[in-house]
Structure 1
Amino acid sequence: MSEHLQQHTGIAKYYHLMRPHTLTASFVPVLVGTACAKYFTDIRIDLLIIMLIACLLIQAATNMFNEYFDYKRGLDDHTSVGIGGAIVRNGMSPKSVYNLAIAFYIIAAILGLYICSQSSWLILLVGILCMAVGYFYTGGPVPISWTPFGEIFAGFFMGFVIIMITFYIQVGHLEWYPAIMSIPVSINIGMINMANNIRDRVKDKASGRKTYVILVGKTIAIITMALLYLISFLVVLYTVFFKPYGSPFLLLVLLSFNLPIKAVNRFFKGNTPIELMPAMKVTGQFNTVFGFLFALGLYLAALTAI
Structure 2
Amino acid sequence: MNYFSIWWLAIRPKTLSIALSPVLLGSALSWHSQAAFSLLTFIIILISALCIQIGTNLYNDAADFEKGADTPERLGPKRAAQQGWLNAGQIKRGALISFFMAFLAGIYLAYLGGMAIIILGLISILCGYAYTGGPKAIAYTPLGELFVIVFFGFAAVGGSFYLQSHTINYSVLILATGIGSMAAAILLVNNYRDLEGDRKVKKLTLVHYIGRPMARKLYVFMMSYPYLLLLVLLPQYPWTILLALFSLPLAIMLIGYFLRMEITSELNKVLAYTAQLQLLYTLLLSLGLWLSQGLWLPPSLWPS
Fold shared by both chains (TM-score > 0.5): yes
Provide the rounded CA distance (Å) in 2 between the counterparts of 1:211 and 1:142: 13
Structure 2 equivalent of residue 93 of structure 1? 87
Partner of 2:120: 126
Q: Deviations over 1:81-119 (max 9, x none)?
A: 434521222521111100010001011101101111123
Equivalent pair of 1:213/1:221 in contact (CA under 8 Å) = yes
Q: Which of the residues 23, 29, 33 maps onto 2:22?
A: 29
Post-superposition Cα deviations, 1:221-243, rounded to whole Å, max 9, x if no partner, equal: 0111112222210111222222x
The equivalent position to 1:158 in structure 2, one of 152, 155, 162, is 152
2:247 to 241, 256, 263: 256
How far 1:79 moved relative to its partner? 4.5
Letter in 2 for 1:138: T
Instruction: Return 115-124 or 98-107, whichever deviates more.
Output: 115-124
| Structure 1 position 210, deviation (Å) | 1.9
Q: Which residue of 1 aligns with 2:40?
A: 46
CA distance in structure 2 between the aligned counterparts of 1:281 and 1:54, rounded to whole angstroms: 23
Equivalent residue number for residue 4 of structure 2: 11
Tell me whether 1:284 sits opposite 2:275 in the alignment.
yes
In structure 2, how many angstroms separate the alpha carbons of the residues matched to 1:217 and 1:9?
40
Among 165, 168, 179, the alignment partner of 1:171 is: 165
SS at match of 1:141: coil
**Structure 1 regions of 5+ residues with no counterpart?**
1-7
Q: In 2, distance between residues paired with 1:116 and 1:262?
A: 42
Amino acid at match of 1:294: L
Alpha-carbon contact 1:229-1:260 (below 8 Å) kept: yes
2:266 maps to which residue?
Answer: 275
**Could you tell which deviates more after superposition, 74-83 or 225-234?**
74-83
- The CA deviation at 1:150 is 0.3
Query: Counterpart of 1:192?
Result: 186
The question of 1:212 aligning with 2:206 is answered yes
* Aligned AA (1:33): G
Aligned pair in 2 of structure 1 residues 84, 48: CA closer, same or farther (>3 Å)?
farther
Alpha-carbon offset, residue 199 of structure 1: 1.1
Shift of 1:178: 1.4
The amino acid of 1:250's aligned partner reads I
Which position in structure 1 is the counterpart of 2:301? Answer: none
Q: Aligned residue for 1:80?
A: 74
- Cα distance 1:200–1:302, how it changes in 2: closer, same or farther (>3 A)? farther
- TM-score normalized by the length of structure 2: 0.92
| CA drift at 1:177 | 2.9
The separation in 2 between residues aligned to 1:62 and 1:83, in whole angstroms, is 16
Letter in 2 for 1:296: L
Question: Structure 2 vs 1, CA of residues 140 and 158 (structure 1 numbering), >3 Å: closer, same or farther?
Answer: same
Provide the alpha-carbon RMSD of the alignment. 1.8
Give the corresponding residue for 1:71: 65
Query: Are the counterparts in 1 of residues 77 and 268 from structure 2 also a CA contact under 8 Å?
Result: no
Pick 1 or 2: higher relative contact order, CA cutoff 8 A, min separation 6: 2
How many aligned positions are there?
Answer: 296
Partner of 1:139: 133
Letter in 2 for 1:74: G
- Whether 1:102 and 2:102 are equivalent positions in the alignment is no
Which structure 2 segments of 5+ residues have no match?
Answer: 299-304
Instruction: State the shift of 1:215 in Å.
Output: 1.1
The corresponding residue for 2:286 is 295
